[in-house]
Structure 1
């Protein structure tokens, strides 16, 4: 219990202390008008209040990531909680803040355009491809998971719910942001918070279960995975949402088009990530506590974290409360899946320079995306999740490099982004080199050393390039 409260306290302190520092480095301008005020179009650029935008941002970035990822990460033991806390404060929330605020400074542009401006045309094209792939994978993951849970609850075929959710996604992707997302998502955001807090209180006051029973300090430094999976670098791929997630970089520009003042940025972008980190901590702690250990958790999961959600929710809250909790878990991915397709549409519209004011122009871009998504739903969920994890963390590293370039070009402290960018680059390369299923299957030592060398060379190249660009701007 004490360890859990300490972790939550660190996240909250991180928002006020490190979040304020990050905001100061960026340098908000209270009197500078945001894109929502300078170019409202009634579809994607719509001014909304700070509280409403925060709840929408939280739902947009959450999905099943801060639930399924931490449950899978819990198999490694309490070490997962350390990554959630420090990854969220120093990498994830920084990543989300800059992906949102740099977009605010550039008329709400999406990540590929921002990467192109600060890292070059090659980075722009790479990010365009990667972002679309990532968003399609997110959309598919966030369709399959709720459809599976609904099928488990009702006994109906999951294909029925796939069709219903797809239909909803298409509508939500096309209609103006304030008509559906802006109207209902704040309520869903409140439901998410209620669900997470309710489950935490339920296990605290439970007579049968104890929060983090028998956990020692040494356990936070030990890999307890019952399947002998290496903690490094797999844990940092497994727990993405809740620590650091490239998917968020595709979502932040959506709300960058809606915030009314730059001073709202820390609460909306950095704060929403801290909120997601707390949700991730809750589910990681629940997974570690409810079943009494990682071996029992592994058996209960049976390859699908949805089974753990079902058991915990019903076990702690009973039939009615469990149904409401599971409903929250169903809503979470749906409210991220639709914005994933919406983001993909906007990225394509920027790439092809197609105005999105008219419905037929939005349909031209949306329908092919949904057709590809429908095909991908036939692929095994585990395979999709693994590719999603790699694509997700690669996008995060690229966004952090973009933010570092932005800060260097504006002669500010770029290390707050450069250091986490370097770390995530090492994670992704080491995972690809060492993974037998997605990569080359090399020994972990060789993979890590190789990743470190490649990252150092890439860092030298990028810093040198950014320094030259900075000198050109200064002398021009």
Structure 2
């Protein structure tokens, strides 16, 4: 089969879905561009700062993308390209699109508060506390994993380290000129993008070589500062400029597929049961994750993005649109695995994982319009590392928000633990401790935990919509499906770990059982809230 068909079908489906289903959601939910958003009603110059739609789209897309929509689809390719592609298209539109846009919308209607706060209003304080604790612990794991990944990347590819540091300096200058000196966005963007590629060139010319542990410490200091710095000075402009790297990577990959139109070598379907608990249901839906739906997106949308929405009309392009663009990225990812196939795919995976497969594939595609293979591969790898860093500092800011909300007793008085500096230090220190020791032991459960977050976010959306007198069935069907995926995945994980050796896997088993219990408790709370109406 020609890979050109896959990229064409996915883009056409996403464009139609954006114009029809996305608009229908806006109508049913009552999105109102005349209604003031929290960015205006609660402006504080630090977290609540109105952002123009293109800038906020860049931040949101950069934060939710990372390596997720690349690693997930390539990892799920063991089931064949057809199940992965079907889930990417259907999932991105009817599951991830609703989840992301709904989480953003619900948060905007709750003064920019997190999904946990939305659950608190809709389902009670017990539901809020359980969700917030779970989300915060999950973010600690994300911080630990991404700190380790970024430090490893900077150690292995010193040029990426130099470029990333220069990106930050460029972002600060961009933010200062646009937000404090009134420079035009268009001209500033053109100059910023040019300088962005200059940073890449300087990184290659002057690589910065430091040890892994030194990079971990530097990164922990950086994310602590980034968590409390005003969004206009670093987060907004850095993510906006970085998004052009991803747009360039997407465009280069898509053009390469059109010109090269490689033939798919991977079987359409390999097996529904690969053994050792690897069943197509639920593992496909846990593994693809960001390529179709990811709970982490709800934390980004309700944590940072909702505090910067300038107008409710931007919710569609930022919430629904970003998920569909990510679906295109996931499509490119599965194509890079599917056109290689066989022993070469296994060789690339063993040599550098899914990122190596994707970078090699896009590097190959880009040779079709004259770009040297090594240049295309290096550029792709650098873009991915830039987004891993974006996801890292966004996760830290989200951890700070959720920690503050979790310990807020509602009295209106700030306690030591709701202070943003204290919340940041606790989050970063614990995340850092997990980075140096422990995160790898519990990482295998992250996929299930992440999809449980998605199920809970969808549940909170369904309850919020019903209590608001709006159409809510577009959220209930995905909710039921994602809970089924999570519960079955956790049961399989518990069974396989017990049979593999209870004592050796005691930590994973305990966490999995706890997550399973949390699922049932919150399902009961959600059903109760829906029935109360």
Q: In which range does the TM-score fall when normalised by the shorter chain?
A: 0.7 to 0.9
Confirm or deny that 1:165 pairs with 2:235.
no
2:250 to 196, 206, 219: 196
- Tell me how far 1:144 sits from its aligned partner: 2.5
**Which secondary structure does the structure 1 equivalent of 2:290 belong to?**
coil
1:299 matched residue in structure 2 = 347
Q: Tell whether the 8 Å contact from 2:103 to 2:461 is kept in structure 1 after alignment.
A: yes
1:31 to 31, 34, 44: 34
Confirm or deny that 1:211 pairs with 2:259.
no
Listed one character per residue, the Cα deviations across residues 2-61 of structure 1 (whole Å, up to 9, x for unaligned) are 123112221222222111111111111221100111110010000111111111110111
Q: Tell whether the 8 Å contact from 1:432 to 1:438 is kept in structure 2 after alignment.
A: no
- Tell me how far 1:457 sits from its aligned partner: 11
- Please give the residue correspondences for 1:117-132 in structure 2 after superposition, counting only pairs within 5 Å: 117-132=121-136
1:41 matched residue in structure 2 = 44
1:318 matched residue in structure 2 = 373
Q: Tell whether the 8 Å contact from 1:36 to 1:47 is kept in structure 2 after alignment.
A: yes
- Change in 2 beyond 3 A, CA 1:405/1:193: same
- Tell me how far 1:125 sits from its aligned partner: 1.1
- Please give the residue correspondences for 1:274-285 in structure 2 after superposition, counting only pairs within 5 Å: 274-285=324-335
- Change in 2 beyond 3 A, CA 1:96/1:313: same
- Change in 2 beyond 3 A, CA 1:350/1:382: closer
- Change in 2 beyond 3 A, CA 1:227/1:299: farther
TM-score scaled by structure 2? 0.77
1:450 matched residue in structure 2 = none
Q: Distance in 2 between matches of 1:54 and 1:39?
A: 21
2:186 matched residue in structure 1 = none
2:59 matched residue in structure 1 = 56
Q: Tell whether the 8 Å contact from 2:265 to 2:341 is kept in structure 1 after alignment.
A: no
Confirm or deny that 1:426 pairs with 2:476.
no
1:370 to 409, 416, 428: 428
- Change in 2 beyond 3 A, CA 1:371/1:381: closer
- Tell me how far 1:351 sits from its aligned partner: 2.6
- Tell me how far 1:348 sits from its aligned partner: 1.5
Q: Which runs of 5+ in 2 are unaligned?
A: 159-208, 366-371, 501-517
Q: Distance in 2 between matches of 1:193 and 1:20?
A: 24
- Tell me how far 1:163 sits from its aligned partner: 3.0
Q: Tell whether the 8 Å contact from 2:64 to 2:296 is kept in structure 1 after alignment.
A: yes
Q: Distance in 2 between matches of 1:372 and 1:381?
A: 11
- Tell me how far 1:178 sits from its aligned partner: 0.8
- Tell me how far 1:268 sits from its aligned partner: 1.0
Q: Tell whether the 8 Å contact from 2:84 to 2:284 is kept in structure 1 after alignment.
A: yes
- Change in 2 beyond 3 A, CA 1:426/1:440: farther
- Tell me how far 1:400 sits from its aligned partner: 0.4
Q: Distance in 1 between matches of 2:310 and 2:427?
A: 31
Q: Distance in 2 between matches of 1:172 and 1:255?
A: 15
2:18 matched residue in structure 1 = 15
Confirm or deny that 1:327 pairs with 2:382.
yes
Q: Tell whether the 8 Å contact from 2:289 to 2:447 is kept in structure 1 after alignment.
A: yes
1:88 matched residue in structure 2 = 92
Confirm or deny that 1:272 pairs with 2:327.
no
Q: Distance in 2 between matches of 1:459 and 1:127?
A: 12
TM-score scaled by structure 1? 0.86
2:308 matched residue in structure 1 = 258
Q: Which runs of 5+ in 1 are unaligned?
A: 443-453, 471-476
**Which secondary structure does the structure 1 equivalent of 2:13 belong to?**
helix
Q: Distance in 2 between matches of 1:130 and 1:459?
A: 15
- Tell me how far 1:89 sits from its aligned partner: 0.6
Q: Distance in 1 between matches of 2:522 and 2:422?
A: 38
Q: Tell whether the 8 Å contact from 2:151 to 2:212 is kept in structure 1 after alignment.
A: yes
- Change in 2 beyond 3 A, CA 1:233/1:382: farther
- Tell me how far 1:407 sits from its aligned partner: 1.4
Q: Tell whether the 8 Å contact from 2:120 to 2:126 is kept in structure 1 after alignment.
A: yes
- Change in 2 beyond 3 A, CA 1:386/1:15: farther
Q: Distance in 2 between matches of 1:265 and 1:48?
A: 12
Q: Tell whether the 8 Å contact from 2:38 to 2:307 is kept in structure 1 after alignment.
A: yes
Listed one character per residue, the Cα deviations across residues 92-140 of structure 1 (whole Å, up to 9, x for unaligned) are 1101111111111111111111111112222111111111012112222
2:287 matched residue in structure 1 = 238
1:404 to 462, 465, 488: 462
Q: Distance in 1 between matches of 2:157 and 2:361?
A: 14
Q: Distance in 2 between matches of 1:424 and 1:165?
A: 34
- Tell me how far 1:203 sits from its aligned partner: 4.5
1:347 matched residue in structure 2 = 402
